[in-house]
Amino acid sequence: MVSWNRAAERLFGYPAGEAIGSPISFVMPADRVQEENQIIDRLKRDEYIDHFETVQRRKDGQEFPVSVTISPIKDATGKIIGASKSVRDISDKKRAEEQIQTSLREKGSFVKRNPSPGQKQFTSSDTLGLNLNIAPVAFSMETAVSCGQLINELVSNCLKHAFPNGRTGDVTVELLSNGNDTYLLTVSDNGVGLPPDFEVGKAESLGWQLVPMLVEQLNGTFELQESAGTTVRLTFSEIHYKGRI
Ligand SMILES: Nc1ncnc2c1ncn2[C@@H]1O[C@H](COP(=O)(O)OP(=O)(O)O)[C@@H](O)[C@H]1O
Ligand SMILES: [Mg+2]
């Protein structure tokens, strides 16, 4: 290690004085050193290395998931004389993905849709695809709970109502950050669509009574879009409690 910036000091907990001079493997869990060596070998052969996800270790021993970008440093003659590595902590992204994956897996209805060649028909459990696009966000507990309940209600509805009689299709869950603590959550399906007489304020069923209440808890607004299935788009903010007594 010949250089170690402020961000690296904060991320790993080692001051530059301790990091510089150490082998690059000193922030790596033992079982990842081999992986890193292979990447360095590829770099030495001047292969292009796309960014990749791995695990690193802080000074206090804590391991955390990261996204790594690594590129060669060359001298004037083009000879590789080192590597520059930039590491981004992706703990929040991983946590958000895991929460959503877990809550979806509990529904037990999603499988990977990879029909083998020659396989023409899906069985009833192979009919739905799932697209997830979850931004790396860290919510307060209150926000996470309401947001989780909303996803739960909306995804349940997609599974229960959008694809009757073995109809195939996709469910998409997307969570984007708009900046300033504002988020956009979209749950959509390309199924049969809402019944023609459906009205949000008039729903007597629990799900669509709960959805507006949960959105309100999040200081949010929502809109329903009914083209090629059902899309629910929610904009909301972090719940901030103004101090507790
Ligand atoms: N994604 C969807 N696709 C098609 N129909 C839907 C969808 N979501 C909801 N619906 C319709 O709206 C109704 C109300 O939904 P909801 O309030 O969650 O009640 P429940 O799921 O208990 O029937 C459902 O019964 C269904 O007819
Ligand atoms: Mg429902």
Distance from C-alpha of 105 to C-alpha of 44, rounded to nearest angstrom: 42
Q: Give the CATH class of 92-237.
A: alpha beta
From ligand 1's centre to the CA of 238, what distance in Å? 27
What's the rounded Cα separation, in Å, for the pair 144 and 99?
10
Mean per-residue pLDDT, 190-219: 90
Which residues have beta carbons under 5 A from ligand 2 (an ion)?
157, 207
Smallest CA separation from ligand 1 atom 11, residue? 194
80-134 pLDDT tens trace: 898 898 998 888 777 767 766 666 665 544 444 444 444 333 333 456 788 888 8
Question: What separation in Å is there between the alpha carbon of 158 and the centre of ligand 1?
Answer: 8
- Topology of domain 6-89, per CATH? Beta-Lactamase (3.30.450)
Tokens at 53, concatenated: 């996800």
Domain positions in the chain: 6-89, 92-237
Reported as a single tens digit per residue, the pLDDT across 39-74 is 989 999 989 998 898 999 999 999 999 989 998 999
Is the distance from CB of 96 to CB of 134 less than 8 angstroms?
yes
Token representation of residue 35: 């992986």
DSSP string, 166-180: G--EEEEEEEEEEET
Q: Is the CB of 158 under 6 A from ligand 1?
A: yes
Pick from 197, 174, 186: nearest CA to 220: 186
Of 8-22, 88-102, 213-227, the least confident: 88-102
* pLDDT value, residue 238: 82
**Are both 6-89 and 92-237 of the same fold?**
no
| Separation CA 124–CA 206 (nearest Å) | 27
Whole-model pTM over 0.85: no
Tell me, using a 6 A CB cutoff, whether residue 236 lines ligand 1.
no
How confident is the model at residue 142, as a pLDDT?
Answer: 81
How close is the Cα of 105 to the center of ligand 1, in Å? 20
Q: How far apart are CA 208 and CA 64, in angstroms?
A: 39
Residue 242's pLDDT band, with cuts at 50, 70 and 90, is low
